[in-house]
Chains A and B, each alone.
Chain A
């Protein structure tokens, strides 16, 4: 089918181009590693506080860092597209019979693959720090992280196509990503927050993604959050991809 083939072509191209210039990749890895090394140890003492969710400090912390990394690395992919837009690549490809969905999906799948690579590195490095993992939980958690990427990456590309330049894109993405991050319980669990903040957080899809990921790491599959998190992100991913594909076909500079 045309879409599958074109998606594969764009995926290959995007991966090749990214791996050719691994600066972003290295930067992308540094951030979670620094959090792990420099922030993680602080949590040991907070873990004994009342209100702190069950599981070791790192089993609460690392899932949050994974979602945060997924959020931020995929939220900023639009910048790469601004670059391609300026060089006329998007326009050139629009004057071909290629699938518009593939224009988006090829790039977003590249983003997801890189994101999962970062996640693997992070989890492996966290194990000596005390992170406990279970087979099924890890797999579903990674699928959830992929969904987070499939939500943020198309939205980032859509914004890039609408706004056109990096100057407009940076503040816009920050304005969206920051509240999402702060209300998701990534840095510190929301169970430590006052009532009103907790309520606000439950409106944030990423809060559910973080909660689900924590449950998955703690093998607490029975808790509702896993189902809520996965289905919520799944639906949002389908919406995001639809919006993104349309943005590619309409892009008129």
Chain B
């Protein structure tokens, strides 16, 4: 086990027994998170992100496999893990009837801070997160963004080595989201490793140092956003044809400048070397065969393309 990995799992599995039968929500996850990273777990809803996160946060025991967080095994030494991690669920953890200050203070006290230390730490966090004015009002009066900031503050009271965030910006407006991204980056810069789950491509791309793409309980790709996008070599040409899609695919697949051609969601998807040169070639070719495309678009690869390539489905559509 590499010594600079703050999180490591080996064939992690978790099975649930439901009325419909057994569901393997986590089906053999092997991952490693480097210390000081913002690590993202990207995947559609139901992919197993939250389940994996909850296993790492010691809320669920794994069915099999091992996971080590901050140097301790989650199944064997959960208490040691809990002292070193912060956890912010998607629904938060603050109670609407309590005030922000009360929540921060009790969290500190539960982590063995004395009353005075807990109050001082609470004030520091309130100031840093710009919640000082609202500190003594019930959480129910906070905006979505404020509440989310408070929840992160609660997770950070004891200065954990790792912060787990489950869908940290879901439901936030664009400004609150941008602000949250800055806050997460600030935490990373101050030395906290961050493990977050998300189904937003832009978030994974913009925020994470490294990420793993998960689908149906398995990791389908991993690496930095740049590395992942490089997996999808070249540009992506998307062509909409009415009717003759299969014929078009067969025709284009054999062209020298086409690396890969496939049919996805009724659209022809070409992975080409230089998109701007490929477009006129494609149009000329199709025209020569009496085929006219309805739509044609060209873009640089995105994480959605990575997901699509690995799983055959579009993350954007499954997330809708």
Say whether A and B bind each other. yes
- A residues contacting B by CB (< 8 A) are 6, 9, 13, 16-17, 20-21, 84, 86-89, 91-98, 252
The residue in chain B whose Cβ has the minimal distance to the Cβ of A95 is B87
Contact with A along B131-145 (1 / 0, CB 8 A): 000000010000000
Q: How far is the CA of A157 from the CA of B102 in the complex (A)?
A: 23
Contact with A along B100-115 (1 / 0, CB 8 A): 0010001101111000
Known: A21-B97, A84-B95. Contact between A13 and B59, CB under 8 A? no
Would you call B60 and A252 a contact (CB within 8 A)? yes
Would you call A88 and B89 a contact (CB within 8 A)? yes
Across-interface contacts of A9 in B (CB, < 8 A)? 106, 109-110
Contact with A along B27-71 (1 / 0, CB 8 A): 000000000000000000000000000000111100000000000
Q: How many residues of B contact A (CB 8 A)?
A: 28
Across-interface contacts of B111 in A (CB, < 8 A)? 96-97
Across-interface contacts of B89 in A (CB, < 8 A)? 88, 91-92
Across-interface contacts of A93 in B (CB, < 8 A)? 93, 110
Would you call A95 and B82 a contact (CB within 8 A)? yes
Would you call B154 and A87 a contact (CB within 8 A)? no
A19 nearest CB across to chain B (Å):
11
Would you call B91 and A86 a contact (CB within 8 A)? yes
Across-interface contacts of A21 in B (CB, < 8 A)? 97
Partner of B83 from the list A6, A84, A91, A97 (CB cut-off 8 Å) is A97
Partner of B58 from the list A86, A87, A95 (CB cut-off 8 Å) is A95
Across-interface contacts of B86 in A (CB, < 8 A)? 95
Q: How far is the CA of A89 from the CA of B94 in the complex (A)?
A: 6
Partner of A17 from the list B59, B82, B91, B95 (CB cut-off 8 Å) is B95
Would you call A13 and B106 a contact (CB within 8 A)? yes
Q: How far is the CA of A17 from the CA of B138 in the complex (A)?
A: 10
A-B contact pairs, 6 of them (CB 8 A): A9-B110, A13-B98, A17-B98, A88-B93, A96-B107, A96-B110
Would you call A87 and B92 a contact (CB within 8 A)? yes
Would you call B97 and A88 a contact (CB within 8 A)? no
Would you call B154 and A92 a contact (CB within 8 A)? yes
Would you call A98 and B95 a contact (CB within 8 A)? no
Q: How far is the CA of A6 from the CA of B154 in the complex (A)?
A: 17
Would you call B98 and A98 a contact (CB within 8 A)? no
Q: How far is the CA of A95 from the CA of B82 in the complex (A)?
A: 5
Q: Is B85 an interface residue (CB 8 A)?
A: yes
